[in-house]
Amino acid sequence: MKLGAIVMIVILLLLMGAGTVQQATKHANTNTPEAALRSFLDQVRAKHWDEAYSMTQPGAGVDKDAFVKDLGGNNGSLKTISSLQNENTKILRQSSNDADIRAELQWSTAVGALHETRDFKMVNDDGEWRVAWPAAPKSQAVAKALPTTYLRWDVVQRGSAKDEWGVQNVEPPRMRIISMNAIENQGDVVILGEVVNEDTVPGFVAINAILLDKDGNSIAEESSFDKISHTLLPKEISPFRIDFPNRKLAEIKSVRISPTNILVPAAADPVVGVMNQRIEKDQDGKSILRGDLVVQGGQTVNIPHVLATFYDRTGKVIWVSDGYVDRALLPQQAVPFTVNLRDDLAGQVQNYRITVNYYNSNRS
Amino acid sequence: MLSISPVRGYSPGKASTTVTPALPMAAIAFLVLAVHGPLLLMQLPAASEGGSTQIFLAQHYAQSWFNPWNEKWFAGFSQTGYPPLTQQWVGLASHLMSLTAAYMLVQLCVVILLAIGTFRFARLWVDERSAGYAAIGSIFLGSLSVLVYQAGDLPATASTALAINGVVYLYGWARKARFLSLLKGLLLLVAAATADPVTAFFGTALFALPVIVAAWMDHGDRDVDADRPSPIAVLIRAVLMLAIAGVVAVVVLAPFWPSFFTQHRLAIANGSRDNFLLNFSSAVNYWLIPMGAVVLALPYIFLSGLAERRLRPLFFAFYIALIFGLGGTTPVARIVLGRFYESFSLDRFTFWATLLALPILGELASRLIERYSIKASIGLGVAAVLTFAMPLAYMAAHPANTNPFRTDPVIGFLNRDNHDRFRYLTLGFGPQFAEVGAGANASTVDGDPSAGRTLPEVAAFGVTHFDAARNYGSDGMEALRAVLKHASQYGLKFIFVRDRYYEPLLAFAGWRQVESYENGNVTLWSKEDVPPARKIEPTTVIPYLERMLWGIVPVLCTLLAFGLILVTPERRRTAETIPFPTAETTPRMQEAR
Amino acid sequence: MKILNPRTLLSILVLCCSSAFAQELKVPQTAVDGDGVNIGTTGSGSATLYITGPGTALKRELRRGDTISLTGDEIAYAGRYTAVLKSGSETTAQNFYVVAGKPAKLNFMARPSRVPVAQPNVISGVVFVLDRDDNLVTAPTPVNFQLGVNGSAAASHPVTSKNGVAWIKAASGKQEGAAQFTASIGDVSAKRVVQQVASDPCNLRMKAQPAGSSIEVQTEPIKDCSGNPVPDGTIVTFSETAGAHGRSTVDARVKHGIARATLPANPGATLSVASGVVLGNEIRWGGGQ
């Protein structure tokens, strides 16, 4: 029965070979530009930076460190806590020597799914397609000392249990909703507006909204979630947007808005400037608001979050959109951002305002 | 203790001319106690991946046996999403000791039962002495060690142990039509299904099919059975028993099936589905370590398994389990399991493969010891101990919980100052997630990923376990976002974070860090505008009869099975070849004269 | 003329006798909190006196004819008390009232704790007048409210309490700082602090100067219309609109009274400044400037 054993072992080895070859060819095919890009992205997905770098065009002046920072992020940026989830590639142009491929990349990040459209240039290197990675521009930042006067509010609470009757802690800051607008968009009801901190101390604000039907019954409850800058410094204004999926304005009689505001500790730094803001069309012809973020002081911002408020000619808020920036903001260095704008509203937008919210990993 | 009834005195290679006596079952049971007892006394499985979940679920049975609605997870869920048997036994035992100790006791009983089952199963294929070695081998299996101490998969081990014992009675019933065999087999198989139906289905198939074929092959063997039943009768009886067991299991587990078949659950990436040739670490963790020294014996298993005609069914079952256990290394498992492939941990097949190989390995051990005596004993002993110890060493080097911490401060916070009026969430707690659930009075919107209620907000994402949301990729994080958006509706005020990965989302969503524990290892985040949690009424009403069956039948089946086995022991038939007395063993008659 | 017939006369006699026997307890109509009270008894023999009232239950063994003194601490709570004298099978009860004593404590609630300067009717103060045992003094009592920032004369507002409560609504002063808000009755007073903070910026002005390839914009010291400097941390938004270069904005924070930011130097750009809903001046950046 040795023959039988040999046959069984051979079958087992064949099955293992079939499974391995199937998987290996799927991952290491560089015969076509699209397959080569997919193989490259597979390495990116697995965070195998050495392997991914080896699939780029050699001698193109790409610094490996910059390559890894570009794909894997640094300085605690959102990219450092992201991983490539899916990709969808489309060949824009192809010749025997090179090809342009547009990849719709879906990243899984710490703040949810992030979509990125990136154009890759592929070159044929002796029959093997490689990624022509663009060399990173040299940083123009000059090392210098920046004065920083830290300004910060701390909250000292009285013990609540033994308080004398009639005496209480410092009141929450005065917040006021300065505009509000309810619209219907793609089968959803959206509540838009702006809230201002009118006080002289920083405050934390969250806005909940309840839709009421004709009988006064609650039919849906949602919150501003991350479509608001929760911590507002004195006189700071934040937009907010509350989405009610699968609702119609016609079924709503009124909206009950309940803002929550409390006194919180906060820091006045960093100050983020929003430069060169302009509404443009992207490569797919969609309207976007584009600009650059620059930290004015000497601090680093790990994860910036951009909130854009769009107004019509009467000054009414007609849309609020947001976007996370996957690069960290280093002092004095411009980092580009884009925020989507609904194409149907692009013509109505008369004015807009950008608010930058942020998360720093060392912030408590 | 169960009596041993060798249905067939099969002696491959005529090795039974040995004079060495067979190992008594009591000795094997004591060996289980000696090997697993100290480790279970140290409560090692409590830190495993699934141990604390089992303890959490058992706690509910200890407090509320017939009401499956548990408010502590998923903002309220029915425990009928989890097969009940092992949790009910732990719950019962917890009235005499702590929940964790009860879990360890039940796990110890399961290992003993597995050793007994292995002996009885091996006895169908090899002689009693080899079967004894197989039983000893089952105690030291690396795959068992992984399941018990690393995965904390009490249901799978219990289901396998019950199924393997049930399958032995299948042989007796199929061949001899003994009603008692049918009854005991049915009770054990139904009990196996109520412990873990998926394990019971695949495990029973893998163990029962070779047994049925063996029973069918044995029909013409005069040495085995003078009754000589017809092969058709053997087959019909076997199918009848399996069908009855299946129907009873389906009826008893009626509340379980809807969630099993209808809910779309996203699986976390599991190394058991990797290609082991391309991923060495997965190969080590999910194949080499569970197989242990069995890998060295593979050539013998192939040669011996195919050499003996009667062992071939057993070999083919082993072969199939081996291929499935190789995960993504071959395309077979993906093709056969279809949509269940991604939600199935394939290391269970390696466990069954090693169990199926044990009769052949027992025979090998028997031959080696007969031939090389003490040298072989020492060599096999060392191999067995290393096989058993390797998973424990690997677990120590790569613990499931890389940084265990005390959950007492978290539980303490939730249980004081009316904090349990709100719901909570843990992020990055890993296996200790269920520990908080068992200790805290408060309810969470999260739950164990293997079953349970899916919140409406996250149904589209197929993710049920927010504690490990990042492991599900963007679906996981989107699901977490969806549930955080509705924090007010669920009264979700407190979030305990042990993985800073989640902090940006919480900060942007309006939670603020308010406390930290364990030197900042765990932080508490709170949201101010969240009202106290509202009680959520049961989403599905389980009929009274189904609840009664769920509460009574699983435990009753095991009690009746063990009772019957003890009360009606099958007569031990000596089928061993008795060696002719040699000169040295001739009785001395002088004194008698 | 027969004024009373014998039966009527007998009835009156019995009534007088029984009422004479019932007058075993002598309690005052009212007592003042803190002063104590004397309760007299008549007759002879032993008896037990029970006193019940708000939060109070007392029992005393006595001989009839004795006078029992209750201290102010024993009847500390204002309200209706009942004294019951039990002697054998006879029981006699009398009610009396304890009223609040003289004001000894003021519970003072001042809202808000933080208020912009020069705002009418933004500060409210409510006083509950209490005696030494926290009984509400319901008798009309003059309460004097005073509000003033350190260093300036405090404005005084006398108010008479009604049912134990006096309240006032006042305007905030023009000077920022911790205003002392005091309520007093005689030598009894309660003090709260109302932080008067600067109001919205007034006359917001900025200046710009080149700084390399950028423009450095800086406000003049920012003050409200009363001349108080706005607190540090207040957001001041600098904007630059520069045609093809789009718009640039910086939400700067006021530090040491001024806010500054750096904007790109685009010729022809218009620079503007705002804080909250208050707009400041505009600068057109062009040519060599």
Domains along chain A with CATH numbers: 26-131 (3.10.450.100), 152-157+168-267 (2.60.40.10), 272-359 (2.60.40.1620)
Q: Do residue B507 and residue A225 have CB atoms under 8 angstroms apart?
A: no
Q: Does C234 contact chain A (CB < 8 Å)?
A: yes
State the best of C123, C236, C251 to mutate against chain A, taking most chain A CBs within 10 Å: C251
CA distance A33 to A55: 12
Burial class (CB in 10 A: 0-12, 13-18, 19+), B495: buried
A vs C, Cβ pairs < 8 A, gives 101
Q: From chain C, pick out residues whose CB is under 8 angstroms from the CB of A237.
A: 235, 276
> A 271-310 residues with CB below 8 A of B?
302-303, 305
Q: From chain B, pick out residues whose CB is under 8 angstroms from the CB of A218.
A: none
CA distance C272 to C282: 4
C-alpha distance from residue B428 to each of B266, B411, B523 (Å): 18, 16, 11
Classify the C-alpha dihedral B332-B337-B340-B344 as positive or negative. negative
pLDDT the model gives residue B221: 55
CA distance C223 to C215: 24
Residue among B500, B510, B513 minimizing CB distance to A230: B510
Interior angle at CA B324, CA B323 and CA B328, nearest 5: 95
pLDDT the model gives residue B187: 95
Per-residue DSSP letter, A132: -
Contact status, residue C136 vs residue C100, Cβ threshold 8 Å? yes
Closest listed residue to residue C215, CA positions, set C265, C271, C273: C265
Q: Do residue B473 and residue A108 have CB atoms under 8 angstroms apart?
A: yes
Q: From chain A, pick out residues whose CB is under 8 angstroms from the CB of B473.
A: 83, 85, 108
State the best of B337, B471, B529 to mutate against chain A, taking most chain A CBs within 10 Å: B529
Q: Does B278 contact chain A (CB < 8 Å)?
A: yes
Given a cut of 90, whether residue A28 has pLDDT beyond it is: no
Average pLDDT, chain A: 86
Q: Do residue C246 and residue A296 have CB atoms under 8 angstroms apart?
A: no
Query: What token pair was written down for B501?
Result: 């990965």
CA distance B37 to B32: 7
Q: How far is A261 from chain B (nearest CA, A)?
A: 9
Residue among C109, C113, C233 minimizing CB distance to A153: C233
For residue B77, the cross-strand partners are: B70
> A 193-252 residues with CB below 8 A of B?
204, 206, 208, 221-226, 228, 230
Provide the 3-class DSSP secondary structure of residue B361: helix
Query: What token pair was written down for B347?
Result: 């290391």
> A 196-235 residues with CB below 8 A of C?
196, 198-202, 233-235
Residue bearing tokens 């142009």: A93
Q: From chain A, pick out residues whose CB is under 8 angstroms from the CB of C251.
A: 236, 271-272, 355-356
CA distance B329 to B352: 18
Q: From chain C, pick out residues whose CB is under 8 angstroms from the CB of A150.
A: none
Contact status, residue C263 vs residue C240, Cβ threshold 8 Å? yes
Q: Does B275 contact chain A (CB < 8 Å)?
A: yes
Q: Does A150 contact chain C (CB < 8 Å)?
A: no
Percent helix, strand, coil in chain B, to 5, is 65, 5, 30
pLDDT, tens only, A265-311: 888 888 899 998 999 888 888 899 999 999 888 888 999 999 999 99
Within a 13 Å sphere around the CA of B352, how many CA atoms are in the beta-carbon half? Answer: 34
Query: What token pair was written down for A144?
Result: 């210098």
Closest listed residue to residue A235, CA positions, set A199, A269, A203, A209: A199
Nearest residue in B to A114, CA atom: B474
Alpha-helical segments (H) within B399-509: 408-414, 433-439, 474-485, 487-490, 503-509
Residue among A166, A198, A233 minimizing CB distance to C253: A233
Q: Do residue A274 and residue C261 have CB atoms under 8 angstroms apart?
A: no
pLDDT the model gives residue B162: 95
Q: Do residue A202 and residue C233 have CB atoms under 8 angstroms apart?
A: yes
Q: Does A114 contact chain C (CB < 8 Å)?
A: no
Q: Do residue C234 and residue A269 have CB atoms under 8 angstroms apart?
A: no
Q: Does B306 contact chain A (CB < 8 Å)?
A: yes
- Do A and B touch (≥3 CB pairs < 8 Å)? yes
- Contacts of residues A160-166 at CB distance under 8 Å and 24 or more positions apart, as own/partner, are A165/C107, A166/C107, A166/C108, A166/C109, A166/C128
Q: Do residue A272 and residue C251 have CB atoms under 8 angstroms apart?
A: yes
Residue among A198, A201, A296 minimizing CB distance to C250: A296
Q: From chain C, pick out residues whose CB is under 8 angstroms from the CB of A277.
A: 246-249
Q: Does C231 contact chain A (CB < 8 Å)?
A: yes
CA distance B206 to B200: 10
Q: From chain A, pick out residues whose CB is under 8 angstroms from the CB of B487.
A: 223
pLDDT, tens only, A310-327: 999 998 999 999 999 999
Q: Could you tell me the domains of chain C? A: 6-99 (2.60.40.1930), 105-197 (2.60.40.1930), 201-285 (2.60.40.1930)
For residue B399, the cross-strand partners are: none
Task: Return averaged pLDDT per consecutive 10 residues of chain C, 289 residues in all.
Answer: 53 47 72 84 86 90 86 88 88 89 90 87 92 90 87 79 92 86 90 87 89 88 90 90 84 89 87 87 73
Q: Each residue of A236-274: b (16+ CB within 10 Å) or e? A: bbbbbbbbbeebeeeebeebebebbbbbbebbbbbbbbb
Within a 13 Å sphere around the CA of A307, how many CA atoms are in the beta-carbon half? Answer: 23
Q: Does A149 contact chain C (CB < 8 Å)?
A: yes
Non-local CB neighbours of B200 within 8 Å, separated by 6+ positions: B159, B162, B163, B189, B192, B193, B249
Non-local CB neighbours of A114 within 8 Å, separated by 6+ positions: A78, A82, A106, A107, A108, A324, A326
Closest listed residue to residue A284, CA positions, set A87, A118, A120, A133: A118
Q: Does C248 contact chain A (CB < 8 Å)?
A: yes
Q: From chain B, pick out residues whose CB is under 8 angstroms from the CB of A78.
A: 504
Contact status, residue A241 vs residue A320, Cβ threshold 8 Å? yes
Q: Does C191 contact chain A (CB < 8 Å)?
A: no
Residue among C107, C233, C261 minimizing CB distance to A296: C261
Per-residue DSSP letter, B338: G
Q: Do residue A16 and residue B326 have CB atoms under 8 angstroms apart?
A: yes
The tens place of each residue's pLDDT in chain B, 593 residues long, gives 333 333 334 443 333 444 455 567 788 889 999 999 999 999 888 878 888 889 999 999 999 899 888 888 888 888 888 899 999 999 999 999 999 999 999 999 999 999 999 999 999 999 989 999 999 999 999 999 999 998 889 999 999 999 999 999 999 898 888 889 999 999 999 999 999 998 889 989 999 999 999 888 876 555 555 556 788 888 899 999 999 999 999 999 998 888 777 766 666 667 888 889 888 888 998 999 999 999 999 999 999 988 888 899 999 999 999 999 998 899 998 888 887 787 778 888 999 999 999 999 999 999 999 888 899 999 999 999 999 999 899 888 877 666 778 889 999 999 998 899 999 999 998 888 888 988 899 999 988 776 666 788 877 777 668 898 888 888 889 999 999 999 998 999 999 999 999 999 999 999 999 889 988 889 999 998 888 998 888 877 888 999 999 999 999 999 999 999 888 876 554 444 444 444 444 444 444 33
Q: How far is B306 from chain A (nearest CA, A)?
A: 6
Within a 13 Å sphere around the CA of B96, how many CA atoms are in the beta-carbon half? Answer: 9
